[in-house]
Amino acid sequence: MDTLSAPSPTGPPNFYGLSRGLLADRLAGQGLPPYRADQIFSWVYQKHRRSPDGMTNLPTALRERLEALCELRLPEVATVLGTRDALTHKFVLGLADGARVESVAMRTEKRLTFCVSSQVGCALKCTFCATGLMGLQRNLTAAEIVAQVVAMGDFHGWQDDRFNLVFMGMGEPLANYQPMMEAIRILHDPLGIHLGARRVTVSTSGIVPQIRRLAGEGLPLGLAVSLHATTDALRDRLVPLNRRWPLAELLAAARDYGRRTGRRVTLEYTLLAGVNDRDEDAVRLGAIARDLPSKINLIPYNPVPGLQWQRPTPESVDAFAKRLWPMAPAVTVRHTQGGEIWAACGQLGGLA
Ligand code: SF4
């Protein structure tokens, strides 16, 4: 048995992991027409009904049988932690097997962004990341990924239908490829949430074959590459996956991804004081960014207890960004949100 997969359910499949096509297939087995799947999708994802009660255009017999065909249960929201400014909330969901998964909703003036997890823990052990310290417990199912979005949307009252979704929570999404793609396609369904592909960003530490596979999906998803270093020697230390797929291979795959999807790739660069924030790092990073359609996102390191790294001072973050600006096509410095509730980048992993 693959111990990294979610435990197989003994009952009916969970609704949130079913595409509309799969739901229609299940209903067809009961002699029901495909438009019933359209109606159920619309009730759940557009009118936000969480039980068959009140799905008034379904026959009573179907309403009564629906939960036997697909379970509508969402994971329990075990904890919601909010920052003092109420702009960031961290959600801890309790899954059916007792595993816990963390997700973060961040609001700015311009947009609402949901950051979801793809795995419980992570096997890749990037040396600055709290999730990496946990090791990998298991992959999430498509239903568990979709459920994180639904839980955060329910909490925010679905006021902002045009939210962004980033796979930057716990885990390496491209190491759980199939469930991640199933979840994206469910969320993208026009009769469901209808989340535009351009609003979804998949962040990877650099699983090169899966970047190439993602480029062939026919969806213009955003791709973020967790770069963090501009030499193989340093990246081998910070992101051990680099020993398998070094920078040249990773950047070639990222370049192809940008070419095939028409999207600029985001280069995520966590700034670690005295490690990768020197002048020569900025020069190399600028050269990398110029060589592919990209934008750079600088992330001042968010401290994790027990790890050796330090966050650079605001002055040195500023100096690094200024050094880059003339050399790179687009540079932003991520405004850190959620540090006080251990919800910032690299901090997910039971630290609350
Ligand atoms: S940074 Fe991402 S890939 Fe690396 S250990 Fe953390 S969760 Fe895993």
Q: What is the pLDDT of residues 4-20, one digit of tens each?
A: 666 666 789 999 999 99
Q: In ligand 1, which atom is closest to the CA atom of 204?
A: 3
Of residues 188, 155, 172, 170, the one with CA closest to residue 224: 172
pTM listed for this prediction: 0.94
345 is catalytic: yes
- Whole-angstrom CA distances from 134 to 77, 137, 225 are 21, 8, 22
Domains and CATH numbers, the chain: 15-69 (1.10.150.530), 76-341 (3.20.20.70)
Crossing angle (nearest 10°) for helices 177-188 and 142-155: 40
What's the mean pLDDT in 131-158? 94
d(CA 281, CA 101): 35
What's the mean pLDDT in 338-352? 63
DSSP annotation of 331 reads: E
Residue 3: per-residue pLDDT: 47
328 alpha carbon – ligand 1 mean position (Å)? 25
- The answer to whether the annotation marks 302 as part of a ligand binding site is yes
Helices (H), the chain: 20-28, 35-41, 60-69, 130-134, 142-155, 177-188, 208-215, 232-238, 247-261, 279-290, 314-324
115 is catalytic: no
132 alpha carbon – ligand 1 mean position (Å)? 5
Strand-pair category, 222-226 with 200-204: parallel
Residue 161: per-residue pLDDT: 62
CB distance 124 to ligand 1 below 6 Å: yes
Which residue's CA is the closest to the ligand 1 atom numbered 3? 172
41-73 pLDDT per residue, tens: 999 999 999 999 989 999 999 999 999 999 999
265-290 pLDDT per residue, tens: 999 999 999 999 999 999 999 999 99
Percent of the residues in the chain that have a pLDDT greater than 90, as a whole number = 82
